[in-house]
Amino acid sequence: MKNLRLKSARAALDLSQDDLAKACGVSRQTISAIEKGDYNPTINLCIAICKTLNKTLDELFWEE
């Protein structure tokens, strides 16, 4: 399942995939794969992404 909430939150802060990746210590391809739904990130990576985007885990990763 695509993670459009992550993509939207990233875009709202005017961050590229590369910017977010560098801030979280991963590759741009990893961020791309998460947004496409092709990669299930570790909880530590989820937390790093949330801190960078100033969002909660529920806001970005909870499936409804």
Q: How many CB atoms within 10 Å of residue 10?
A: 22
Place 38 in a pLDDT band, splitting at 50, 70 and 90.
very high
Q: Residue 1: its pLDDT value, please?
A: 79
* Predicted TM-score of the model (pTM): 0.93
Please state, in angstroms and rounded to a whole number, the distance separating the CA atoms of residues 16 and 2.
17
Domain count, the chain: 1
Q: What number is the average pLDDT over the span 43-64?
A: 94
pLDDT at 44 over 90: yes
Give the CATH number, domain containing residue 49. Answer: 1.10.260.40
Mapped to the 3 state alphabet, what secondary structure does 33-59 carry? HHHHCCCCCCHHHHHHHHHHHCCCHHH
**Residue-number span of the structural domain to which 27 is assigned:** 4-61
pLDDT at 25 over 90: yes
H helices, E strands: number in the chain = 5, 0
At residue 61, the 3 state secondary structure works out as helix
At residue 28, the 3 state secondary structure works out as helix
